[in-house]
A and B are shown apart, each in its own frame.
Chain A
Amino acid sequence: MEIFWILAIPLIGGLLLALFGCGRYAPELNSTMSFGTFLASAFLTVRVITDGPMTAFNEQFFVDSFNVFLVALTAFVAFTTSLFSRPYMRIEQAHGKLTVNMLRLYHSMYQLFTFTMLVALLTNNLGIMWVAMEAATLTTVLLVSLYRTPASLEAAWKYFILCGVGIAQALFGTILLYFAAEKVLGAGGTALLWTHLDAVKTQLEPTVLSLAFVFLLVGYGTKVGLAPLHNWLPDAHAEGPTPVSAVLSGLLLNVALYAVVRSKVLVDGALGSHLAGNLMMGFGLLSVVMAAFFLSRQKDVKRMFAYSSIEHMGLMTFAFGMGGAVATFAGMLHMTVHSLTKSAIFFAVGHATQKSGTQLMENIRGLITTNPTIGWGLAIGSLAILGMPPFGVFASEFLIITTAMHAYPWTTPFLLIALGVAFAAIFSRVQSMVFGETTDERLPHPPALVPVFAHLGLVLLLGLYIPPYLADWYRQAAALIG
């Protein structure tokens, strides 16, 4: 029943906002809908923790401890982002960047985007997962081009074409997977259900599955933003409205990685070798190193943090690729803390760029003197994402690197150098944005900074103390993925 509400609320919300989204109450309605989704996901989480994994609606939907934590995270960040977007979009409107109709489109698509991500997470059918991932691209294309500037249109076009082509590869991978599954499970609807596939994964044809995994990894990997398929990501993040950057970075990338990990479980079972893990480690390591070096050359603040997202997604892919209880645990912890921290940073960056009227870092100065909360939010958020103790990112990165030292010592220098380069780049840039002299005005509306500090507080908490039930929950999920 909870599953029904989790999916129904955003869908109804999207339709309502499309029809009646012109009024002044639209942002509040948007937040209310997101809050409803979050409540439903909280109930679902409680139920899965007490009762264990379950399927629903004729086995079409499926929840276990791995996807329920992502569902809860997605619903939570979608809710806080909708809170942030209320004042943010009002300020954009006051600046004359948006019309009422654009806002209606934005709110409606925001809800539908949440809906598609939740479908992708909850569905048991790998074909439907593909459909939902493609739909997630489609709902965000018009959000990226919301401002109708030449740069935003270009970014949206690139996003559509690259992700469209990428995800077409994933469809071919899914076809191959179905081809292998059909031999064991018989034709028809059940051969793409993950729970059924998981049960027979050792009998699936290994050559077909390894080919399928290559296509699935390239396809969904494009959406994760893995190098060298990441070209769309910095543009889409930099040119779209900031709430969209926050949900793209904090949520969509996670969902795409989820799809890759689910496929990996099947392929590992069929092959009995470490091929899938090795591929993921390779792509992950390449992304970490490449993103770190691109990061240090950025001038646009949102682009810089977009590259930082590529780096962190690479790190997670690397962790899941290594496999084993500790690395998988760390990968999931990193998914959680990265998504919370990065969206908090985008919230602060969004207000900072509104205040300075530019996204160029050299023109953003002295945030702490005019708007201390924005300045502190950005400073603390950046320290957190750079992996400073006592924040949660430190804990997960520490676990990933120590595991890598034991299992694959040769990767350690690459990881450490990349993290060091990223640290130097982001730290020096953020310092000059936060401190320094400025003549900028304050914002016309009070900024929304509760979400920023709520997220950072959670990340701090996860760094200092992981509650036992949460650790247990991650451990269960890690056992599922293996």
Chain B
Amino acid sequence: MENFAGQLINLFAALLLLIAFGMLSQRRILSLINLFALQGLVLSVSTLFVAYTSHQHHLYYSAGLTLLLKVIILPWILHRLIRKLNIKWDVETLFNIPTTMLVGIGLVVFAFNLAAPISLMAGTITKSSLGIAMACVLLSFLMMITRSKAIPQVIGFLAMENGLFFAATSATYGMPMVVELGIALDVLIGMFILGIFFFQIRETFDSLDLKHMEKLKED
């Protein structure tokens, strides 16, 4: 059973990595939000499995929190935002997707190497997925760099938080509950503030393209 659950958790980890690559190459904002919700769902289910196999009861709460926040609330807010901002069908032109993917693969290799010594020390059932968690963080980072529109950048930011959450689960069976609640609160408040912020940007620049926001530079 233990072995089987371990395999299953690894499968979920692989799915997370796949979704991270999917987000890197997705050009439609609507599909990007759906991918983000899917990532949250996979994360929540995998946390549930970890909780079940390791008998860590507080992880059940974490899984529930993830489900509530990252599968329901945040995607709902994002959907509402794009509807109100009227950018539901926006398609972004991305710079050279194959190159980005290749850089992404390089990052995954790097992440696995960085995580290897720590995985060896970890006593958790999920220790082999720490490398994948780090790779997810780095891929989200890459996504933020390659995007020029505001909403995809924010989704990249939230995906990075997903990766960090996964890292915490794989290395240590999650952070103490009070910290996790605090982080969730921060993410939620951050999303609200960004919502207000998007409208301000739109009002001022007539677009959410960050190309307009490159005036402040050192000469």
- Which A residues contact B (CB, under 8 angstroms)? 125, 127-128, 130-131, 134-135, 138, 141-142, 145, 148-151, 153-158, 160-161, 164-165, 168, 171-172, 174-176, 178-179, 182-183, 187-189, 191-192, 205, 207-208, 211, 235, 239, 294, 297
Contacts and interface: CB of A to CB of B under 8 A. Distances in A.
A233 B118 CA distance: 34
Given A164-B157, A171-B164, A172-B137, A179 B179 contact: no
Contacts of B137: 168, 172
Which of the four size classes fits the interface of chain B?
35 or more
A56 to B, nearest CB: 15
Contacts of A164: 157, 190
A205 B173 CA distance: 18
B127 to A, nearest CB: 10
B197 A145 contact: yes
Given A151-B215, A168-B164, A131 B185 contact: yes
A228 to B, nearest CB: 12
A218 to B, nearest CB: 12
Interface of B: 117-118, 121-122, 137, 141, 144, 150, 153, 157, 160-161, 164, 167-168, 171-173, 175-179, 182-183, 185-186, 189-190, 193-194, 196-197, 200-201, 203-205, 210, 212-216, 218-219
A211 B115 CA distance: 10
8 nearest interchain CB pairs?
A127-B179, A131-B182, A154-B213, A189-B176, A134-B186, A179-B171, A175-B168, A235-B216
A178 B117 contact: no
Contacts of A130: 179, 182-183
Contacts of B218: 294, 297
A179 B122 contact: yes
Contacts of B172: 175, 178-179, 182, 187
Contacts, number: 127
A192 B176 contact: yes
A153 B186 contact: no
A153 B213 contact: yes
A445 B216 CA distance: 31
B143 to A, nearest CB: 12
A192 B182 CA distance: 14
Contact of B178 (A142, A161, A179, A189): A189
Contacts of A151: 215-216
A115 to B, nearest CB: 13
Given A135-B189, A138-B186, A168-B137, A191 B216 contact: no
Contacts of B185: 131
A148 B141 contact: no
Given A175-B167, A297-B219, A127 B182 contact: yes
Name, among B121, B205, B212, the residue most crowded by chain A CB atoms within 10 Å (CB to CB).
Answer: B121
Contacts of B164: 168, 171-172, 175
Contacts of B212: 150
A167 to B, nearest CB: 9
A230 B157 CA distance: 19
Interface of chain B, main secondary structure: helix
A187 B161 CA distance: 22
A64 B196 CA distance: 39
A156 B197 contact: yes
A125 B144 contact: no
A247 to B, nearest CB: 18
A148 B203 CA distance: 9
A137 B175 CA distance: 22
Given A158-B216, A178-B172, A153 B200 contact: yes
Contacts of A168: 137, 157, 160-161, 164
Contacts of B173: 187
Nearest to A193: B176
Nearest to B134: A172
A334 B144 CA distance: 37
Contacts of B214: 154
Contact of B160 (A135, A154, A165, A294): A165
5 contacts: A138-B193, A153-B200, A178-B168, A192-B176, A239-B216
A372 to B, nearest CB: 34
A64 to B, nearest CB: 22
A125 B157 contact: no
B178 A127 contact: yes
B101 to A, nearest CB: 21
Given A131-B179, A188-B176, A207-B117, A154 B216 contact: yes
Given A172-B167, A207-B117, 14 more contacts: A130-B179, A130-B183, A131-B185, A150-B213, A156-B197, A160-B194, A161-B144, A171-B164, A175-B171, A178-B172, A179-B118, A187-B172, A188-B176, A189-B176
B20 to A, nearest CB: 15
Contacts of A187: 172-173
Nearest to A236: B216
A153 B175 contact: no
Looking at A145, A182, A191, which has the most chain B CB atoms within 10 Å of its CB?
A182
B83 to A, nearest CB: 22
A141 B218 CA distance: 21
A369 to B, nearest CB: 32
A127 B186 contact: no
A52 B185 CA distance: 34
Contact of B197 (A142, A165, A175, A294): A142
